[in-house]
Amino acid sequence: MIPREGASASVEQDYEALLQFLYMAPVGLAQLARGGEIVLINPLCAQLLMPLATRGDLANLFTVLEGVAPDLAHRARAFAPLHGKVCDAMHIQAHAGKPGHDPQILSLTLLKLDADRFMAVLDDVTLSVKRDRELRHSQAWIHSISSGIFDVNYALMSLDSRGIVRGWNVGIRNLSGFEADATVGRSYANFYPEGDMLGHRVVERLREADQTGWSLEEGWLRRSNGERYWGSGLIAPVEAATEVPEADRTYSLVIRDISERREADEALRRSVWSDHLTGLANRRAFFDAASAAAQRCTHTGQPITIVLFDADHFKAVNDTHGHPAGDAVLRHLAAGLSATFKPTDVVARFGGEEFVVLLTGSSAAEARVTAERFRSHVAAKPVTVDGIQVPCTVSAGVASCTDGLSGIDELLRRADIALYAAKATGRNQVAVWDETLEQNGRAAPARASR
């Protein structure tokens, strides 16, 4: 008897130790049933998820994350192998961040164990993402100065306080084909395709370099023969901003041709920044673009406008025609939005059936006209899925600001209030935020009954 009791006491102690091991694990773990239902979950996972759980429960992981990773359920359903990683350290942007706070970024790995079970690993990677970004910047900087300037892939030049190129060298010709007379005394905007580097942006990048020590941008550049190439442009101040008056400052500009690296980067960029189902930008890409736009807006006073679209009665589409039809409707709306808005506007999938468009330089009134065009187009043309016509309408909320001070979260909140007003007054319409809507407000649970 005694050994048996001893054994059982030790099993109990082991069990308790194991329980505490999971209670204390510094990473979020959850086991899910086939449809995302949470069966087991450890505290850290709950800590990370609770602020996102708008319904206040942790019954289903896909539902809890629906607002921030809307394509998760689709990915899990579409994952054909019997076991394996559905997603691996996928970054999820939880919110836009408040002034002085970085946006929270979660990393999610979803492992399919068998036909009926998934295991999820969730971690807060906000700090490491920030560190990575800083490291990449410094590496680019060190790489640029330590690499041969006479390499055909690099050009180095100096700029004055307005971004005018002050001297020419053979490196500039090797890289871009531009001769001295087409370079000296002209803005460095000349190296970019027409319209890509507008006057205010030229100066903004110099100010950015003053403030942070550099300004680094990747994008399309152009050669003298009109050919485009993928490059990065690094601007660094020659003198410390505090020592020299603004008008006398000089900068160095290094342009690198990184076309070769681009394809690999592009594939990565697509997987990290785009929504799996629709191919649109995802929330993270949206918040990234939005915070950059908000920063620019504080300098330039240009308006930032946000339009939130939501498919009306979307649950009914899923219930009546099935999830594949619902997915087809979402893809249809995504394609329509991309075609309707300008290429410079950012169109992103924001939630389950919610889309967001970020417009810079357009007023609320202008955005409303475009949104209205899209709304009437959707209402007029049912989506055809497998020969069946699925009628669909959208509602939209528009909000705009010119000071950039209120921040993206505030702008989204206003657009959401306008969207709610559009829903409340019968759906299939576009509403623009104003103070009077604010008094009506909206109750958070209203989301569920769209």
Partner 1 sequence: MTQTVSIPFDAAPAEVSAFLHSASAADIDALGFGVIGFDAEGVVRRYNTHESRMAGLSLDRVVGHAFFTVVAPCMNNFMVAQRFEDTARDGGTLDETIDYVLTLRMRPAKVKLRLLADPAIALRHLFVQRQP
Residues near partner 1 (CB under 8 A): 15-16, 19-20, 22-24, 26, 38-47, 50-51, 53, 56-59
Query: What distance in Å separates the CA atoms of residue 423 and residue 255, rounded to the nearest whole number?
Result: 49
Burial class (CB in 10 A: 0-12, 13-18, 19+), 426: exposed
In degrees and rounded to multiples of 5, residue 340 shows phi and psi of -80, -40
Name the minimum Å distance from CB 17 to partner 1. 8
Pairing mode of beta strands 394-401, 430-432: parallel
Name the minimum Å distance from CB 336 to partner 1. 38
Name the minimum Å distance from CB 43 to partner 1. 3
In degrees and rounded to multiples of 5, residue 113 shows phi and psi of -85, -45
- Nearest CA to 430 among 386, 396, 404, 401? 396
Query: What distance in Å separates the CA atoms of residue 77 and residue 74, rounded to the nearest whole number?
Result: 5
Please say which residue, 50 or 335, places its beta carbon nearer to partner 1: 50
Please say which residue, 26 or 441, places its beta carbon nearer to partner 1: 26
Contacts of 335 (CB under 8 A, 6+ apart): none
Please say which residue, 382 or 407, places its beta carbon nearer to partner 1: 407
Name the minimum Å distance from CB 370 to partner 1. 37
Please say which residue, 20 or 298, places its beta carbon nearer to partner 1: 20
Interhelix angle 314-321/323-340, nearest 10 degrees: 140
Helix, strand, coil percent content, the chain, rounded in steps of 5: 45, 25, 30
Name the minimum Å distance from CB 59 to partner 1. 7
Tokens at 287, concatenated: 């918040």
Please say which residue, 26 or 387, places its beta carbon nearer to partner 1: 26
Query: What distance in Å separates the CA atoms of residue 275 and residue 256, rounded to the nearest whole number?
Result: 30
Please say which residue, 30 or 76, places its beta carbon nearer to partner 1: 30
Task: Return the beta strands (E) in 50-204 as ranges.
Answer: 84-93, 105-114, 117-124, 154-159
Count CB-CB contacts under 10 A for residue 55. Answer: 13
Name the minimum Å distance from CB 58 to partner 1. 4
Query: What distance in Å separates the CA atoms of residue 92 and residue 49, rounded to the nearest whole number?
Result: 12
**Amino acid identity, residue 276?**
H
Name the minimum Å distance from CB 28 to partner 1. 10
- Contact in structure between 191 and 164 (CB atoms under 8 Å): no
Name the minimum Å distance from CB 224 to partner 1. 55
Please say which residue, 48 or 297, places its beta carbon nearer to partner 1: 48
Please say which residue, 93 or 429, places its beta carbon nearer to partner 1: 93
Please say which residue, 25 or 405, places its beta carbon nearer to partner 1: 25
Please say which residue, 38 or 308, places its beta carbon nearer to partner 1: 38
Name the minimum Å distance from CB 16 to partner 1. 6
Name the minimum Å distance from CB 213 to partner 1. 33
Number of alpha carbons in the 13 Å side-chain half-sphere of residue 385: 19
Alpha-helical (H) ranges within 162-282 are 170-176, 199-212, 259-273
